Amino acid sequence: MWTATTKQDLRSKLPGLPRPVILVPTMGALHPGHASLIELARKRAGENGTVIVSIFVNPIQFDRPSDLEKYPRCLDADLTVCRKNGADGVFIPEDGEMYFTDRSVTVIESSLSKHLCGATRPGHFDGVCTVVLKLFNLTRCDAAVFGEKDFQQLAIIRRMLRDLDLGTEIIPHPTVRENDGLAMSSRNGRLTPEQRVSAPRIRQALTIAAEKSSVDDILSTARNFIEESPFAKIDYLSLVDAETLAPADDLSSKRVLACAVFYGEVRLIDHITIKPRA
């Protein structure tokens, strides 16, 4: 397994890479959920294709400096995960390698990012779109694997590909969960023992609420269940249209119940799909 730390080094490897090239973009601190993304990329690339994992803690997608500063970094362990799960190469750039000091171009999505995480994390998805587009250009990948846990991110990246006429295929992977239902996240390791015991309530709340028959009941049930924990502070809890991500006031078509919850400084997200009611 090769590694590249500069754009020039990465570009020097591209001409000889067998197709298809499948990219797995990450910010490191890899857990079994990431491992499953790499495994899926390996399966889609086949024995003869190429799997590239990128590890880059993207500074321009963080809305809180403290979150960026405390984001876990464990490169040696990450490389082991990449190697064990079938990566052929890993791109590990520094901040200065990815962004010029006088950079003045940013990719901005102006519709799907108005709500949910986009509303509470200003500039977050501008940073996501910008770095993903750069990684697509740098790796010349044929496809890229993204987890469905970040469903708003996935929808926005798909919109960027559509609107900018990019040919990259997006390969989604279902959310990977701990045994107690908590969605796997690199931030889970920052939870205190008490917070970690409480955090699975997020999934429990969404699951229970999804069975209710009205929008008000769905939202109130989820909110009350989460807020029973003294450790939890809801950042947002919304029922949105599955396609437009705009707030929904009925259950006439497929909806998504989504939330972000703070446990101290640790922000966790999750969602559940709700089928149309007859």
Please report which confidence band the pLDDT of residue 184 belongs to, taking 50, 70 and 90 as the band edges.
Answer: very high
242 and 163 in a common domain = no
pLDDT at 32 over 80: yes
| Residues paired with 91 in a beta bridge | 4, 54
**DSSP bridge partners of 236:** 260
Q: Are residues 253 and 160 in the same domain?
A: no
Least Cα distance to 152 among 192, 119, 191 occurs for 119
3-state secondary structure of 165: coil
Q: What is the pLDDT of residue 181?
A: 98
Q: What are phi and psi of 25, to 5 degrees?
A: -75, 130
pLDDT over 80 (residue 278): no
Kindly state whether residue 277 falls inside one of the protein's structural domains: no
Domain interval for residue 84: 2-173
Q: Percent of the chain beyond pLDDT 70?
A: 100
The answer to whether position 183 is within a domain reads: no
Residue 216 has pLDDT above 90, yes or no: yes
pLDDT for the residue numbered 51: 98
The CATH number for 227's domain is 3.30.1300.10
Q: Do 3 and 54 touch, CB atoms closer than 8 A?
A: no
| Contact by Cβ (8 Å): 271, 256 | yes
Residue 179 in any domain: the answer is: no
Note whether 6 and 56 are same-domain residues: yes
Residues 161 and 197 placed together within one structural domain of the fold:
no
In this prediction the pTM is 0.95
Active site residue 173: no
Give me 48's structure tokens: 């003869």
**pLDDT value at residue 67:** 94
Residue 278 counted as domain residue: no
The candidate with the shortest Cα–Cα distance to 257, out of 219, 226, 201, 204, is: 219
112 CB-contact burial (10 Å; exposed 0-12 / middle 13-18 / buried 19+) = buried
Q: Are residues 81 and 112 in the same domain?
A: yes
Number of domain units in the chain: 2
How would residue 277 be classed by pLDDT, with cut points 50, 70 and 90?
confident
- Same domain, yes or no, for 52 and 142? yes
Would 116 be classed as within a structural domain?
yes
In a domain, 256, yes or no: yes
Q: How far is CA 72 from the centre of its chain?
A: 16
Q: Are 24 and 37 in contact (CB under 8 A)?
A: yes
The mean pLDDT of 24-45, rounded to a whole number, is: 98
On whether residue 181 sits in a domain, the answer given is: no
Strand ranges across the sheet with 50-55: 2-4, 89-91, 50-55, 21-26, 143-147, 169-173
Show which of 147, 173, 199 is a domain's final residue.
173
Mean pLDDT, residues 251-265 taken together? 97
> pLDDT of 87-137, one tens digit each?
999 999 999 999 999 999 999 999 999 999 999 999 999 999 999 999 999
Note whether 23 and 112 are same-domain residues: yes
- Summarize pLDDT for 154-175 with one digit per residue, the tens: 999 999 999 999 999 999 999 9
Length of the chain: 278
User: Do residues 63 and 167 both lie within one domain?
Assistant: yes
Set 34, 115, 124, 271: catalytic member:
34
Residues 14 and 135 in one domain: yes
Write down which residue in 173, 207, 233 finishes a domain: 173
Is residue 165 located within the same domain as residue 107? Answer: yes
Residues contacting 211, CB < 8 A, separation 6+: none
**Judgement on whether residues 153 and 261 belong to the same structural domain of the protein:** no
Within-domain flag for 180 = no
Instruction: List 55's β-bridge partners, or say none.
Output: 26
Per DSSP, the residues of 179-192 read TTSPBP-TTGGGS-
Average pLDDT over every residue of 213-238: 97
Place 39 in a pLDDT band, splitting at 50, 70 and 90. very high
Whole-number Å distance between alpha carbons of 196 and 59: 26
Rounded to an integer, what distance in angstroms lies between the CA atom of residue 22 and that of residue 36?
A: 14
CATH of the domain at 113: 3.40.50.620
Task: Give the type of residue at 135.
Answer: L
| Residue 148 and residue 234 in one domain | no
Of the residues 143, 173, 203, which one is the last residue of a structural domain?
A: 173
Q: What is the mean pLDDT of residues 68-96?
A: 96
